[in-house]
Structure 1
Amino acid sequence: MKFHPLAGTLILGFAAISLFANCQSDGKSTSGIGKIFASDTTKKNADSTENVMKPVDPKLYDSLTQKLANGDTTGKWPVKKQPYPLAGAILPFKRIVVYYGNLHSKKMGALGEYAPKEMWQRLNKEVKHWEKVDPTTPVQPGLHYIAAVASGTPGKDGKYINRMGNKQIDSVLKIAKMQPNTIVFLDLQVALSNIKAELPHIEKYLQLPYVHLGIDPEFSMKDGSLPGKRIGTYDAADINYVSGYLADMVKKYNLPPKVFVVHRFTRKMVTNSPNIKLRPEVQIVMHMDGWGEPELKKGTYRHFIYGEPVQFTGFKLFYKNDLKKAPNRMMTPEELIKLTPKPIYIQYQ
């Protein structure tokens, strides 16, 4: 493989760590916004319990997953023996298109680089482009917010993690409300902490039906290395713990299925992937997170996403990093729709 993660995604990671080295989060702060969102959804969830717990139409689901397989003849795609999701599932009925970033930094992605109105104008252009390229698949817009950022300094707990406080997360929810039916992803870079310890920090937000989850193995430093020094890892056991955690929330609060995004651009970032368990309450997206020229990105997708099937696939596009080497351009929706399988989650950074 020619893919150069240490010269690619990790450079972005270093920038993030540097920017957050001295940033103080208000993790203990509280806000009325989250409470309002929670109270607004409580009655809706209670009223729709019966519908949420019914599975989707199997024939429709099968036809759409077959369409995503894009003519694959190897037997890898679509993934066999996956459970049908509960009602309210987004995938594969819609393609999710999101902007990624953090409100503290203009260098970590379009979400944070632009003021909300301009950000929405730009994201809506991408949505329209995808609708034109694949008019049979509706687009679900979303915001993918880094809610815990790997830090360059140890912090009070020595875990090299900077957790965004409630005020910051509430601000993202408020930005999402500027456009109806927007979903939100909260992304965790656990650094020297671990996923079991970090999930409770955002649990109250995951109780909301439109809030979903992303985890980044790049910054899961199980060997004690400082984040940014080398690429981290998650095992299937970690991913199964998270999906079980989400499934329990879906059942407890009568929620539609959660979309669970796992970033990946090397083999060791996700170990024992055949052991990843699929559940009706959770939809797992293995997301190609590397940057570089088109052929490099396609090779990474082929080796680590196509080659190790889990359930659904995603693809990240970088407005700046993808332009650093010849041919100095981003891949287009027209190109991505030709991949096998077709990515159903698209992230712009």
Structure 2
Amino acid sequence: MRIPHLLALATIGALLAAAAAHAPDAVAQSRGTAQPAAEEPIPGGRPRPGAILPYHRIIAFYGNPLSRRMGVMGEYPPDLMLAMLDAEVATWQAADPSTPVKPALHLIAVVARDNPGPDGKYRGRMADTLIERVARWAETRDALVFLDVQVGLSTLQEELPRLAPFLRRPNFHLGIDPEFSMKNGGIPGKRIGTYDAEDINYAVRFLSQLARDANVPPKILVVHRFTRRGVTNAQNIRLDPHVQIIMHMDGFGTPTLKRGTWNAYIRTEPVQFAGWKQFYKERNDNPRTTLAEIIALRPKVLYVQYQ
């Protein structure tokens, strides 16, 4: 989506005004600490104190500031991008006032590449300074930060320890992308990768240990999925009270096609909580699934990622 900056700002202003008219206290609700009763049974039992889910819905902007192609986070100047996030948060709060909204920035911190690089791993690690830049943006919105990992020919065991100092922070969480986990060989982007329950369980154990050591509320783990082979043996994923797992429907297409992906790979194997991807680019989502359609899905969508 290419929008001249002045037009984009005018559109954002209109969205915020409309949201405020329907929900004057939307921003206050999104930053509150109230925890309304969950509408559905909570897999894994009652969450630990300070847990974000299922008491909030997370609205996340995805991407990398170094690339205009990876997602909305890098497509626009920071101030404009954050204003767009404000508008989406307010719109969601107005659409479903019963579920307080938490904004988030979802940074691709380990990027899969189509060239092997010096170590042959087909991935690039983002500098700590870039992560800190996104962390500062998040601070201006009291937002969560997700660090997304595309391992290429590397592994979670190699990549996560380096990110531990960030993931110890209370507002930092993790995303892992099976599409770019080439554990069965191949070049990222040329074929679709996979994770097994064993890989996801490692990430859960890693986050759980960090949360306990740092004495912080439960961590969130987002697992992207849009194919059956993307996550194998999902029934063997083990829940942990210190980690909240979101199985994220990462597909694109018409609303009918995306609901088909949802029904096949998320509704049948939700594991714990559920997420949904929205694309701004018309070539990916045309038409876009409406908020009302997303809100009506079951299990309830508690994480919405905009790319």
TM-score normalized by the length of structure 2: 0.86
* 1:275 alignment partner, one of 230, 236, 239: 236
* 1:205 alignment partner, one of 166, 169, 182: 166
State the distance in 2 between where 1:149 and 1:107 align. Answer: 12
State the distance in 1 between where 2:194 and 2:184 align. Answer: 9
Tell me, yes or no, if the aligned pair for 1:85 and 1:282 is still in contact at 8 Å: no
Write out per-residue CA displacement over residues 218-251 of structure 1, whole angstroms, 9 at most, x where no aligned residue: 0000112111111111111111111011001111
**Cα drift, residue 177 of structure 1:** 1.6
State the distance in 2 between where 1:316 and 1:329 align. Answer: 14
Whether 2:190 is the aligned partner of 1:229: answer: yes
Aligned partner letter, 1:143: L
Tell me, yes or no, if the aligned pair for 1:79 and 1:309 is still in contact at 8 Å: no
Q: How does 1:292-311 map to 2 (within 5 A)?
A: 292-311=253-272
Whether 2:66 is the aligned partner of 1:107: answer: no
Q: How does 1:121-140 map to 2 (within 5 A)?
A: 121-140=83-102
Partner of 2:221: 260
Gaps of 5+ in 2: 1-33
Aligned partner letter, 1:195: L
Tell me, yes or no, if the aligned pair for 1:186 and 1:214 is still in contact at 8 Å: yes
Write out per-residue CA displacement over residues 206-226 of structure 1, whole angstroms, 9 at most, x where no aligned residue: 011100000000000011211
Write out per-residue CA displacement over residues 33-76 of structure 1, whole angstroms, 9 at most, x where no aligned residue: xxxxxxxxxxxxxxxxxxxxxxxx9xx78x4151xxxxxxxxxx
Write out per-residue CA displacement over residues 67-114 of structure 1, whole angstroms, 9 at most, x where no aligned residue: xxxxxxxxxxx465x133221100011100010000111111110111
Whether 2:293 is the aligned partner of 1:335: answer: yes
TM-score normalized by the length of structure 1: 0.76
State the distance in 2 between where 1:168 and 1:309 align. Answer: 33
Structure 1: 4+ residue segments shifted above 6 A: none
Whether 2:126 is the aligned partner of 1:164: answer: yes
* 1:318 alignment partner, one of 261, 269, 279: 279
**Cα drift, residue 128 of structure 1:** 1.0
Give the total of aligned pairs: 274
State the distance in 2 between where 1:141 and 1:234 align. Answer: 27
Q: How does 1:1-349 map to 2 (within 5 A)?
A: 63-66=37-40, 78=41, 80=43, 82-179=44-141, 181-320=142-281, 323-324=282-283, 328-349=286-307
Aligned partner letter, 1:279: D
SS of residue in 2 equivalent to 1:284: strand
Tell me, yes or no, if the aligned pair for 1:189 and 1:219 is still in contact at 8 Å: yes
Of structures 1 and 2, the one scoring higher in RCO (CA 8 A, sep 6+) is 1
Aligned partner letter, 1:324: R
Tell me, yes or no, if the aligned pair for 1:100 and 1:143 is still in contact at 8 Å: yes
Aligned partner letter, 2:100: P
Aligned partner letter, 1:184: V
Write out per-residue CA displacement over residues 138-189 of structure 1, whole angstroms, 9 at most, x where no aligned residue: 000010000000012111111000110111111111111222x211000000
Tell me, yes or no, if the aligned pair for 1:129 and 1:333 is still in contact at 8 Å: no
CA RMSD of superposed structures (Å) = 1.6
Aligned partner letter, 2:297: L
Aligned partner letter, 2:38: L
Identity of aligned pairs, percent? 51
Gaps of 5+ in 1: 1-56, 67-77
